[in-house]
């Protein structure tokens, strides 16, 4: 396929947390609010004079200092962010919108504060409380937290207009972005899609890491380009997979997987598009803020939600995506040393395999996979297994059809 016009530019934007578009927006007088977790409603950070940037630590290598502070059996993602923060990599941020969802990330934020990794006088870190289940009183809880611990602080420290009108404008802009990303993502349902999983990962990441008003026009243009893009006659991939699990912001992961012969047709992980790129549908009769909170709670696929309905939702979502996007199998991954996904992965993998009938590859991985030989071997073996399964299925179908004709 012909290269996408903006692909290289987008890849470059992802080389640094503090990218050119972030700088441009800040030069225009807007404040950059970093965040990591889906429990923090992205749209609330895009209100008025603020914009969100989902933080990453691209190209990170040694994380020795963060390991001194946070020890070595803790989430590599959280440690990589801390290392980058200590190196001064998040000096550009005006705030961090944190949630107390997992202990590793919470401690990472705390270190950023204690070690004074950002010297801007107005810089602040929020610590908002998030629930484990969805009940009316937990929606109250999130709404209260978002109002008191986030919006009010933004207003006080950054002079942000957090009125309903401002929230509404942010939702509208967010929905526009979601529509574009959903349309692009839908191409992956096709037998021979005009976009690869890797490319989609790039687009999805820029949509999280760059200010929406600046990235949206380019994404719209890319959508038009893809509509008219001619896929290769013979697809490169030998199997179609859904990737599900914990955070992935490492493009090398998708690259490695696709180099091994798999096409990623759906991205059900944090920093992927499921969840994150669904429209927020507002209705009358309830405050906008409450509806936003409810939307994020409802769509969240976070393993931290412990009530049974959410546990079932998570498995059903993966199953639904695999069916809708015509996947052959599922890759269930987890960040090394992440407690939530460490427990979720084995159980869900077994259930998806035994009860939902999907072939599943279950792996744990580093924050930066680089060219991991071990992972490559496992990916290749899985792709081969899926391929064999497909051939067997086809043969069985042919045989069945043959005996039908004979009769």
Partner 1 sequence: MKNKVKYPDPKFFRFKDQINWKKQAENLKEIGGIVAELLKETDWKDVAGSVKGDVKAFKKRVSHEAGLLKGMSREEILDLIKNGEKQLGKLYRSGKMATVRREWRGVKDTGVDFYEWMRMWGMLLATFSKDLVPAMGGALHYRWMISYFCCHSFMDKNTLGLRGKALKMHHELIYAIFRYVAENLVLLMKGDEKVGNSKELSKKVVLLDEMTMAQIMAGFPDLIGIPYQLMPVFLLSEIDQLACEPYIDAVESYGLPSDTCPVPTSECGACVIDALPHLGACFISSSMPCDGSVMASSYTARRFKDLPTFHLTFPVRYEDESIMNAAVEDIKACIRFIEEQTGARWSWDAYFTAMKRFNEETRYELQKWEVNQTPYPQLIGPCYELFRKWNYEMDGGIDPRILNTFKKVDELMKKAYANREEPWRGKMRHRAIVWSVPAHYYANFSNWLANCWGINVLVEMESLNFTKPLETEDKEEALKDMARLYERMVMRRHTNGGYDHVLTELWRQVEAWKPDLVIMYQHVSCKNMSTLNGLFEDQAREHGVRLIWIEHDLMDPRTVSRKDMRSKVNEYMRTVMREEPLDPSLVDFEDDASW
CB under 6 A: which stretch of 127-135, 151-159, 322-330, 335-343 binds ligand SF4?
335-343
- Within 88-127, the residues that bind partner 1 by CB under 8 A are 100, 102-104, 106-108, 110-111, 114, 127
Q: CA 106 to CA 247: how far, in whole Å?
A: 15
396's contact among partner 1, ligand SF4, none, with CB below 5 to 8 A by partner kind, is none
Q: Where are the alpha helices (DSSP H) in 260-363?
A: 288-299, 308-324, 339-354
Q: Using CB distances below 5 to 8 A depending on partner kind, what does residue 230 bind out of ligand SF4, partner 1, none?
A: none
Q: Determine which residue in the list 13, 44, 105, 146 makes contact with ligand SF4, applying CB under 6 A.
A: 105
DSSP symbols for 243-257: EEES----HHHHHHH
Radius of gyration of the chain (CA): 21
Among partner 1, ligand SF4, none, the one that 90 touches (CB under a kind-dependent 5 to 8 A) is none
Nearest to 202 by CA among 244, 240, 248: 248
Judged by beta carbon distances under 5 to 8 A according to partner kind, the member of partner 1, ligand SF4, none in contact with residue 247 is ligand SF4
For 105, half-sphere exposure in the C-beta direction (CA atoms, 13 angstrom radius) is: 27
**Is 332 a residue that touches ligand SF4 (CB under 6 A)?**
no
3-class state of residue 163 by DSSP: coil
Give dist(CA 66, CA 83) in Å, integer.
5
The contact mask relative to partner 1 for 124-163 (x = CB under 8 A, - = no) is ---xxxxxxx-x-xx-xx--xx--xx--------------
Structure token digits, residue 10: 């987008």
Pick one of 42, 143, 247, 344: the residue that binds ligand SF4 (CB under 6 A): 247
Restricted to residues 209-238, the positions that interact with partner 1 (CB under 8 A) are none
Nearest CB to partner 1, comparing residues 216 and 311: 311
Which range in 41-49, 75-83, 248-256, 384-392 contacts ligand SF4 by CB under 6 A?
75-83
Closest contact distance (angstroms) between CB of 37 and ligand SF4 is 7
Is residue 59 classed exposed, middle or buried when 0-12, 13-18 and 19+ CB atoms within 10 A define those classes? exposed
Mask: binding to partner 1, 278-317, rule CB under 8 A, as x and -? -------------------------xx-xxx--x------
Q: What is the DSSP letter of 273?
A: S
- Residue from 340, 358, 379, 382 that binds ligand SF4 (CB under 6 A)? 340
Nearest-10 Cα torsion for 189, 192, 198, 204: -40
Of the candidate residues 160, 162, 212, 246, the single one contacting ligand SF4 (CB under 6 A): 246
What 3-state DSSP class applies to 153? helix
The answer to whether 317 and 268 have CB atoms below 8 angstroms apart is yes
For ligand SF4, give the closer residue by CB, 252 or 324: 252
Is residue 336 a contact residue for partner 1 (CB under 8 A)?
A: yes
Kindly state whether residue 70 participates in binding ligand SF4, applying the rule CB under 6 A: no
How far is Cα of residue 113 from the mean position of the Cα atoms in its chain?
25
**Residue 289 binding: pick among ligand SF4, partner 1, none (C-beta 5-8 Å cut-off by kind):** none
Q: Is 333 left (phi over 0), alpha (psi -120 to 50) or beta?
A: beta
Write out the E strands in 90-158.
95-99, 124-128
Q: Which of 129, 117, 48, 125 is nearest to 89 (CA)?
A: 117
Residue 98 and residue 106 in contact, taking contact as beta carbons nearer than 8 Å: yes
Q: Which of 71, 192, 377, 392 binds partner 1 (CB under 8 A)?
A: 71
Q: Which spans of this chain sit near partner 1 (rule: CB under 8 A)?
A: 68-71, 73-75, 78, 100, 102-104, 106-108, 110-111, 114, 127-133, 135, 137-138, 140-141, 144-145, 148-149, 303-304, 306-308, 311, 334, 336-337, 339-340, 342-347, 349-351, 362, 364
């Amino acid at each position: 396929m012909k290269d996408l016009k903006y692909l290289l530019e987008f890849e470059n934007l992802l080389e640094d947390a503090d990218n050119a578009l972030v700088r441009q927006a800040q030069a225009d007088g807007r404040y950059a609010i970093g965040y990591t977790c889906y429990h923090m409603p992205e749209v609330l950070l895009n209100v008025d004079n603020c914009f969100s940037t989902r933080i990453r630590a691209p190209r990170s290598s040694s994380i020795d200092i963060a390991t001194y502070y946070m020890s070595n059996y803790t989430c590599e993602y959280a440690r990589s962010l801390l290392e980058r923060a200590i190196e001064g990599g998040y000096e550009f941020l005006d705030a961090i919108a944190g949630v107390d969802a997992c202990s590793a990330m919470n401690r990472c934020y705390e270190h950023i504060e204690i070690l004074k990794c950002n010297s801007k006088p107005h810089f602040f870190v929020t610590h908002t409380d998030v629930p484990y289940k969805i009940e009316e009183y937990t929606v109250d809880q999130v709404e209260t937290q978002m109002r008191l611990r986030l919006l009010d602080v933004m207003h006080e420290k950054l002079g942000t207009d957090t009125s309903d009108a401002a929230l509404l404008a942010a939702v509208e802009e967010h929905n526009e972005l979601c529509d574009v990303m959903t349309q692009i993502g839908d191409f992956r349902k096709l037998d021979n899609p005009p976009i690869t999983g890797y490319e989609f990962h790039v687009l999805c990441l820029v949509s999280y890491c760059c200010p929406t008003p600046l990235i949206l026009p380019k994404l719209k243009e890319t959508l038009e380009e893809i509509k008219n893009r001619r896929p290769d006659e013979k697809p490169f991939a030998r199997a179609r997979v859904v990737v599900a699990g914990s955070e992935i912001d490492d493009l090398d992961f998708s690259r490695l997987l696709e180099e091994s012969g798999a096409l990623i047709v759906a991205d059900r992980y944090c920093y992927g598009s499921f969840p994150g790129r669904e429209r927020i549908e507002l209705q009358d009769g309830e405050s906008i803020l409450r509806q936003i909170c409810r939307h994020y709670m409802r769509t969240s696929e976070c393993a931290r939600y412990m009530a049974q309905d959410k546990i079932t939702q998570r498995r059903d979502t993966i199953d639904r995506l695999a069916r809708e996007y015509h996947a052959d199998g599922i890759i269930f991954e987890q960040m090394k040393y992440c407690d939530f996904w460490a427990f979720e992965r084995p159980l869900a993998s077994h259930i998806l395999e035994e009860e939902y009938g999907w072939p599943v590859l279950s792996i744990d991985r580093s924050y930066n996979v680089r060219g991991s030989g071990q992972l490559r071997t496992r990916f290749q073996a899985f792709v081969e297994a899926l391929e064999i399964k497909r051939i067997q299925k086809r043969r069985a179908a042919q045989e069945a059809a043959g005996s039908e004709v004979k009769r």
